[in-house]
């Protein structure tokens, strides 16, 4: 696959919104839009300070990305049948795939390409009722998802097909997936008030100061509170070093329809496409096709070891593509590469993370996962209900998805999107028919004979 194109001059270098381009294609400042014709702003302290700043941004991005949602990933893999060892293997495979993919794409393209696992996809798995065939069937679905993402990069009509799904329905489906998980903090406060309130209050206080660090702070608070209030038998923790577990895939129609297709849709719509948008906002204009294709390839490589999906980062990408990674947009790729290396190191601690989660009160870990997803839930609900005309199909999608109903082994996310889609199509057909009728009525109005007050015989 070809390397992505060179970025245009970005917001941090010009001080202007990169989307506000002159119709001629020139940069609003009059500078060369490639960034090669103007001397970029230099980091105070020289090149060493610039490297340190980029490295710090990359390390923070990796820590925030891992700590904010690893509990969601573990819960999702466990819900679809993974054992503790297989879940640790899947978490490690995702971290290594993310890290290598970020390093390769960033160094090859000289763009800050940040990679992450599919958090909405993990939430989809966590909200499922499992699938017939157990974890091997889920791994087969992961492989199919990777193939679809690769095809989206190679064959543009497939990628455009995702954008054809009405935005209210896609958001409603995602909200229905997230809502049950976001109730966990309330359940944790009820079952264990001391620990639950401590985690929630930490999240709220830190979030009021710096929202980005709210969930990592909640993770730290959970670890401290669990360690001080819960007796953990070290003999039951299990291995602290990860062991890759190769899972032979089993392909079933139910897993393909109930896991692979919804996982593909939420990964593309909630991760890959927003990831491209983050790069564009910061002044980078890569060709999306190769990026989608490469993330699909690394998804395929991680799937046999339990990884569900690798994709472009959306939230943490702003740390590596923005001014936090340095004033020179042409050198911010180093932050993404450092984040990739940090993800690989974090992957080596996957087994320890799984062991601690398994020894902890389940409600507390689920509460952390729920807090991590509250922002995504709010955004999804806003997008689903913003259009009053299509609000009812969105509500139907949300309700059916939340219900968790399964038919023929296919999860509620698919049926929710299908039910809302049918109502959406019916409303669209009614609107089109009404508009055509109105047009024909206007064209059929007879000319009036003003003098006689009746139709002109001509």
Residues contacting residue 169 through CB under 8 Å, at least 6 positions apart: 384, 390, 393, 394, 397, 417, 420, 421, 424
CB 272 within 8 A of CB 295: yes
Report CA 305 to chain centroid distance, whole Å. 21
| pLDDT digit string, tens, across residues 29-79 | 333 333 434 455 555 556 777 888 888 888 888 888 888 788 889 989 999
- CA dihedral 265→296→178→339, nearest 10 degrees, is -140
pTM over 0.95: no
* Contact yes or no for 134/247 (Cβ under 8 A): no
pLDDT at 91: 94
Q: What is the pLDDT of residue 110?
A: 92
User: Which residues of the chain carry a pLDDT beneath 50?
Assistant: 2-38, 448-458
Given this model, what pLDDT does residue 103 score?
Answer: 96
pLDDT the model gives residue 411? 67
Within 93-187, strands assigned E span 115-117
| Best CA proximity match to 255, nearest among 406, 396, 420, 116 | 406
pLDDT at 155: 85
């Amino acid at each position: 696959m070809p390397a992505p194109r060179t970025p245009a001059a970005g917001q941090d270098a010009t001080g202007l919104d990169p989307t506000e381009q002159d119709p001629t294609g020139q940069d609003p400042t009059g500078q060369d839009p490639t960034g090669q014709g103007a001397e970029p702003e230099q980091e105070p302290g020289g090149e060493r300070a610039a490297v340190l700043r980029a490295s710090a941004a990359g390390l923070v991005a990796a820590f925030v990305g891992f700590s904010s949602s690893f509990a969601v990933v573990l819960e999702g893999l466990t819900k679809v049948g993974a054992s503790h060892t297989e879940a640790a293997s899947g978490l490690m495979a995702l971290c290594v795939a993310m890290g290598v993919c970020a390093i390769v794409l960033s160094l090859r393209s000289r763009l800050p390409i940040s990679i992450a696992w599919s958090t909405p996809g993990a939430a989809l798995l966590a909200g499922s009722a499992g699938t017939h065939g157990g974890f091997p069937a889920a791994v087969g679905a992961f492989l199919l998802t990777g193939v679809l993402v690769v095809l989206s990069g190679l064959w543009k009509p497939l990628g455009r097909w995702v954008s054809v799904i009405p935005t209210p329905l896609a958001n409603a489906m995602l909200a229905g997936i997230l809502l049950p998980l976001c109730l966990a903090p309330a359940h944790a406060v009820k079952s264990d008030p001391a620990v639950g309130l401590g985690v929630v209050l930490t999240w709220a206080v830190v979030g009021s100061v710096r929202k980005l660090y709210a969930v990592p702070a909640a993770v730290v608070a959970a670890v401290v509170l669990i360690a001080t209030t819960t007796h953990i038998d070290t003999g039951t923790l299990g291995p602290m070093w990860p062991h890759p577990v190769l899972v032979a895939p089993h392909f079933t129609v139910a897993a393909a329809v109930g896991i692979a297709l919804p996982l593909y849709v939420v990964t593309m719509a909630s991760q890959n496409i927003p990831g491209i948008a983050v790069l564009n906002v910061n002044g980078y204009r890569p060709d999306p096709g190769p990026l989608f294709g490469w993330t699909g390839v690394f998804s395929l490589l991680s799937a046999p070891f339990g990884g569900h999906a690798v994709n472009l980062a959306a939230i943490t990408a702003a740390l590596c593509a923005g001014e936090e990674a340095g004033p020179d947009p042409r050198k911010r790729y180093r932050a993404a590469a450092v984040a990739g290396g940090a993800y690989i190191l974090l992957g080596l601690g996957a087994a320890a993370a799984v062991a601690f989660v398994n020894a902890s009160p389940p409600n507390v870990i689920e509460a952390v996962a729920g807090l991590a997803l509250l922002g995504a839930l709010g955004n999804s609900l806003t997008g689903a209900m913003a259009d009053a005309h299509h609000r009812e199909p969105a509500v139907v999608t949300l309700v059916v998805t939340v219900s968790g109903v399964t038919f023929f082994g296919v999860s509620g996310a698919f049926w929710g999107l299908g039910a809302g889609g049918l109502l959406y199509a019916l409303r669209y057909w009614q609107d089109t028919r009404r508009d055509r009728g109105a047009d024909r009525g206007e064209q059929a109005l007879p000319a009036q004979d003003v003098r006689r007050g009746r139709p002109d015989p001509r």
